[in-house]
């Protein structure tokens, strides 16, 4: 088993606290929906609105704290919402643009090891330019010193968004190498679950932009990387246990809306 009983309890606590905090902060939409209310009931409409709101904040309120907790089981350290260095060399900036242009026109294929070496070769050449990189959702430090900078995305990002994702991964790499050319680093996109289950994840939508072997982890690939083999299925079991344990609280919370 990947997780001990204590570890599972800790993860369940993180999920329960995150959900309770969401209940405390959440305010349902104030728009009147008389047809919807009469057809479905205010409690169901409140639940629908809550789920939509939860979907937009699932990353920071559930996925990130759980991922951090799980990563600490197998790795040296883990942190959320981290900033990277704010300087990139002018030569690295040009190299990134050349990579993006090649990928966009399909004249080259994504190859993260090669791209990393190209950026490393020029990471301190030219003028150092100030930049404002996107924050890192999850930073994991392996016992061998390797740093993993992970961008956690929704389960169904639009195919057009992957161009921006790719640039972010390359800029994180360039900024980190500018500070320490010898750092061992991987920059990754993580998608917490596969919405197409039992079919495979539709990786073809990002094949021309991301190196699928070196830049993408989906569902069990992501969670098992953090917590060890089998961690994903154990995490789903933890979530189910929290749902059962909080059922009365959840029912009571949404029952209030039928009284209004």
Determine the average pLDDT of the residues in 110-130.
Answer: 96
Is it the case that residue 106 has pLDDT exceeding 80? yes
Phi, psi of 20 (to 5 degrees): -65, -40
Cβ burial of 27 (10 Å; 0-12, 13-18, 19+) is: exposed
| Biggest CA-to-CA distance, the chain | 66
Mean pLDDT estimate for the chain: 88
Where do the domains of the chain lie? 5-259
What pLDDT is stored for residue 177 in this prediction?
Answer: 96
What pLDDT is stored for residue 140 in this prediction?
Answer: 98
CA distances from 252 to 25, 53, 189, 244, 255 (A): 16, 19, 37, 14, 5
Is it the case that residue 53 has pLDDT exceeding 80? no
What pLDDT is stored for residue 91 in this prediction?
Answer: 97
- In this predicted structure, which of 62-66, 102-106, 206-210 has the lowest mean pLDDT? 206-210
**For residue 218, what is the enclosing H or E element?**
strand 216-218
Q: Where are the beta strands (DSSP E) in 91-205?
A: 128-130, 136-141, 147-152, 185-191
- 165-186 residues labelled b (16+ CB within 10 A) or e (exposed): bbbbbbbbbbbbbbeeeeeebb
Q: What is the pLDDT of residues 181-225, one digit of tens each?
A: 999 999 999 999 988 888 888 776 677 899 999 999 999 999 999
Is it the case that residue 116 has pLDDT exceeding 80? yes
Q: Tell me the whole-structure pTM to 2 decimals.
A: 0.87
């Amino acid at each position: 088993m990947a997780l001990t009983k204590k570890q599972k309890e800790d993860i369940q606590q993180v999920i329960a606290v995150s959900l309770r905090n969401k209940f405390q902060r959440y305010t349902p939409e104030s728009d009147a929906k008389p047809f919807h209310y009469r057809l479905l009931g205010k409690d169901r409409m409140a639940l629908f609105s809550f789920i939509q709101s939860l979907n937009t904040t699932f990353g920071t309120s559930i996925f990130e704290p759980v991922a951090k907790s799980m990563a600490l089981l197998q790795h040296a350290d883990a942190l959320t919402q981290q900033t990277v260095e704010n300087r990139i060399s002018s030569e690295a900036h040009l190299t990134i643009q050349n990579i993006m242009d090649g990928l966009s026109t399909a004249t080259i294929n994504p190859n993260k090891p090669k791209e990393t070496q190209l950026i490393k070769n020029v990471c301190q050449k030219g003028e150092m330019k100030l930049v404002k990189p996107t924050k890192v959702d999850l930073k994991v430090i392996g016992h061998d010193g390797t740093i993993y900078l992970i961008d956690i995305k929704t389960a169904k990002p639009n195919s057009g968004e992957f161009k921006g994702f790719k640039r972010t991964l390359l800029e994180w790499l360039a900024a980190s190498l500018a500070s320490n050319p010898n750092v061992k680093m991987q920059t990754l996109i993580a998608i917490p679950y596969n919405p197409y289950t039992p079919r495979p994840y539709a990786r073809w939508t990002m094949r021309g932009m991301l190196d699928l072997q070196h830049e993408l982890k989906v569902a069990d690939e992501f969670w098992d990387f953090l917590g060890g083999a089998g961690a994903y299925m154990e995490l789903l079991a933890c979530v189910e246990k929290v749902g059962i344990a909080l059922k009365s609280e959840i029912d009571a919370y949404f029952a209030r809306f039928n009284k209004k």
